[in-house]
Amino acid sequence: MIRTAFLTAACMFRDHPQARADAFEYEYEIAALQPACREAGIALEPVVWDDPGFDPARFDAAVVGTCWDYMEKPAQFAAALDRIDAATRLYNPLATMRWNTHKTYLRDLAGRGAPTIPTVWAGRADADTISGAFETLGTDDIVVKPVLGAGAWRQARVRRGEILPPADRLPPAEAMIQPFLPAVAEEGEYAFLFFGRDFSHCARKVPANGDYRVQSEYGGREEVHHPSADELALARSVLDCIDGDLLYARVDMLRGLDGQLALIEIELMEPYLYPEQGPDMGIVFARALTGLLG
């Protein structure tokens, strides 16, 4: 058996004192992946990424899985990935994940022709920056996000004239500001899942009534979406903007003000894989990992 570490976080286990509300998603994901990997001759073993006892050299490979606390300790996480990459094969590749960690990668993809959402990039999300973003974007309704972050962490929706959220609810450092797109509440987001660049499945992520955040910890839900040929081609066109081997990629898209799907983000590090909407996901994942491991 090829011994492979599936990197996760301590907070993804239900018995942890600070267990996340969405810890069940880790359980769904590992339950879908492990049996298919075992059939393919791969022992996929959950490992907490910052466990002092974790020795990556004891594994043939490591997969960055549900490491959903990394944005709270980015320097420690970056050092851990360096150490793991030096000791074994790491997926996705380290350089790809480093690039994907900071959402400035969206600027790169826009330059390569990917359909993206208009964005204001700022050093801090202060009152002057947010006020200027309303003017630059030509809207009265914006979403402020951290450049380094995930899962709607320190993200806020702000309407012109409203009192700003407190500082601890806004991005702590670099920020990106985009127009609020009504389609997120009316239609939801689409997550296209690829393994080894092969399409697996698509999930439509729908927020709770009155919210715009699609994550399950805010009441969001998912359902199967069967993309049209045009939708799938658009998602593939985003993936084609990225070079190199990829174990997994999740292309998240949302309908813009022009009625066309646009890229919200492409997840090349620690994405949730929506196993409930992809019954064959484990098989496609295992096939991709086997191909990379040779």
CATH number of the domain where residue 139 is located: 3.30.1490.20
Q: What would the pLDDT profile of 219-276 be if each residue is shown by its tens digit?
A: 678 899 999 999 999 999 999 999 999 999 999 999 988 888 999 999 999 999 999 9
250 belongs to a structural domain: yes
My answer on whether 220 and 111 are in the same domain is yes
Structural domain includes residue 285: no
Same domain (yes/no): 18, 74: yes
Do 111 and 236 lie in a common domain? yes
The answer to whether residues 254 and 184 touch, using CB atoms and an 8 Å cutoff, is yes
Looking at the fold, whether 63 and 134 belong to one and the same domain comes out as no
Same domain, 54 and 124: no
In tens, the pLDDT along 195-222 reads 999 999 999 998 877 666 667 766 678 8
In the predicted structure, residue 92 carries a pLDDT above the cut 60: yes
132 and 160 in a common domain? yes
**Alpha-carbon gap, residue 137 to 37, rounded angstroms:** 46
Give the DSSP H or E segment for 188: none
Tally Cβ neighbours within 10 Å of residue 112.
Answer: 12
Domains identified in the chain, total number: 3
End-to-end CA distance of the chain: 13
* Residue 289, domain member (yes or no): no
11 and 59 housed in the same domain: yes
Domain ranges, residue 222 = 105-116+184-274
- Residue whose tokens read 């698509």: 202
Alpha carbons 67 and 6: distance in angstroms, whole number: 10
Residues 109 and 244 in one domain: yes
Amino acid identity of 58?
A: R
E strand spans, 133-188: 141-146, 156-159, 175-179
Residue 155 within any structural domain of the chain: yes
Residues 12 and 65 in one domain: yes
Percentage of residues in the chain having pLDDT higher than 70? 92
Say whether both 111 and 46 belong to one domain. Answer: no
Of 1, 23, 24, the residue nearest 10 (C-alpha): 23
How confident is the model over 3-61, as pLDDT tens digits?
A: 999 999 999 999 999 999 889 999 999 999 999 999 999 999 999 999 999 999 999 99
On whether the pTM is more than 0.85, the answer is yes
243 with 172, same domain?
A: no
